[in-house]
Structure 1
Amino acid sequence: MRRQYFIGIDLGGTNFRLAILDKRFRIITKESWPTSNFNNKDSLLNAIEINLFSLIRRTRLLPNQILGIGVGLPGPVDPKKGIIHFLPNIKGWRKVRLKDILEKRLKMNVFIDNDVNLMSLGEYKLGAARGATCAVCITLGTGVGGGIVINGEILRGKSNVTGEIGHLPLNEDGPSCNCGGRACLEAYVGNKRLLNKAKRLFHHNITLEEVTDLANRGEKVAIEFWRDAGQKIGLALTAVVNLLNPDRIVIGGGVANAGKVLFDQIRRTIKERAMPTQANDCKVVKALLGDNAGLIGAAILVQRNLMRNEN
């Protein structure tokens, strides 16, 4: 029986997603669970194994029809060695040889990468970064991650950890960050920080979706809330624009759903603060593939690695 399917795994700080995709990167079926359901590394590894084989059975496939598994992870990893360096927002994952562990348990080819690198591959192949020469993709969610695609290839750096845009410092001093640093972009606009700030401003528990709804109805405090977030994101991206001269910046993740007020401020800040040529070259757009981008990118990761191995 022909092998013609990929499995994509997107392990986020908030949700753990699993999908089966065909050779054209179309999602056949997918499921998700709160990451908090699994309180340690072993329970999460068990969940991956159990749910993966359950999904294969329910799709009426056989394990030998799977070409391989791609895994996106929310932190710095070594994709060549298959090692997680650490995950800032998920405790207990430091120096974990995930590729070896999963290949032993699942008896399938496994390839790992940073989750935003995979989101970037997905958006480059089928989404908002399609056709770009130099695309910078960022996700705004539990954490803030970045991926850079130049001429179709992920920019990696010496230790394969390029793109940690969320840990660019915005000030000399400021709020502590889960990475161990201070005043990182993520420490200002990560999901939990924004929720805490919203609670202080509105004097009760409020979701970011509710803040967005208020901003869209003209509520001044809500508008200023998203403008402040956009200013900080724009400042970090100004450094990226000046350094890399991208023609496309793609922004995804739950916070990106704040919409026009947020995006207008990001664009305004880049235009005001970046070098004129770089600013004019760069288009800031919202990601098109949503939660599917990382799953699609995971399938692309498998395909590319298998093709390299054949050569």
Structure 2
Amino acid sequence: MTQRGAVFIGPTVASFDFPGPDQDIIPGVQWGAISAFPSPAYWAYQVLARRLEINAVNYKLGRTLKEEVGACLLGGHGIPAAIGIAAFNKLKRLGAFEQEVPPEEQLYEWLSEPIDIGTKSVRYRFARQKSHYLAAALSRLTSEDTPLGSGRQLRDWLLLSPGIGYKTASWVARNWLKADDVAILDIHILRAGLLGGFFPENLTVERDYLELESCFIQLSEAMGVKASELDAVIWYEMQGSSDTVFGLIESLRGQPLSKLKPRSARSKNRKSDSGQTVLQF
């Protein structure tokens, strides 16, 4: 028994047939219903529908690989997307990603200054740490040949830079090369995988990145979609559907999926002595 999904594009209707909800997409993981967020069938349909609607995801954040590394390194864990992009744009305007790499102290000085985001003035939380990591990465990009034959080659090379872990290195590789042999695994992807049943419950991103990535790529191949597309679609929808996601998590109370739960205590935005907003996450 199959299930059918349709996409309406003006007067045109495109239909997709998927295996039945009870059939396995990979051993031990069922397709689920197309309408059942966040089942594998639901995600497969979302990727295919996005393709037809010509609503493609633009991965790249920079015009050069230096800029891409800078944008991804300045974002990520603990840095809200808006602040990471604002910090990247500021350093870009100041010439941080040109041929001559600024000294670490110069990068630190720039990152330490307040950053305007709309009507707010904020401070970048990890200025000292990220200026060190950024200086090292930019120096390597200037002085060494960068392998671009595959996403994994680029990721493995980036992992040799201080402060760049699997997630950031995979992010750069996916964005720059549209690579499908890596995956960007964060809490949003982990939640989708655990709720959808395609990640084992005993694995964590911190300890088991490569094993989880292998599960994710196997799933995308079984769906017949690109891992880069699937990764992006899941991330955008999961981070934009927090109420639905947390409702599903709450319904699983008592089950061994505590890693899905959001942090119960989130620090409030506070004012610094200078009156500037310091965002705490």
Question: Which protein, 1 or 2, shows the higher relative CO under an 8 Å CA cutoff with sep ≥ 6?
Answer: 1
TM-score (norm 2): 0.30
| Rg comparison, structure with higher value | 2
TM-score (norm 1): 0.28
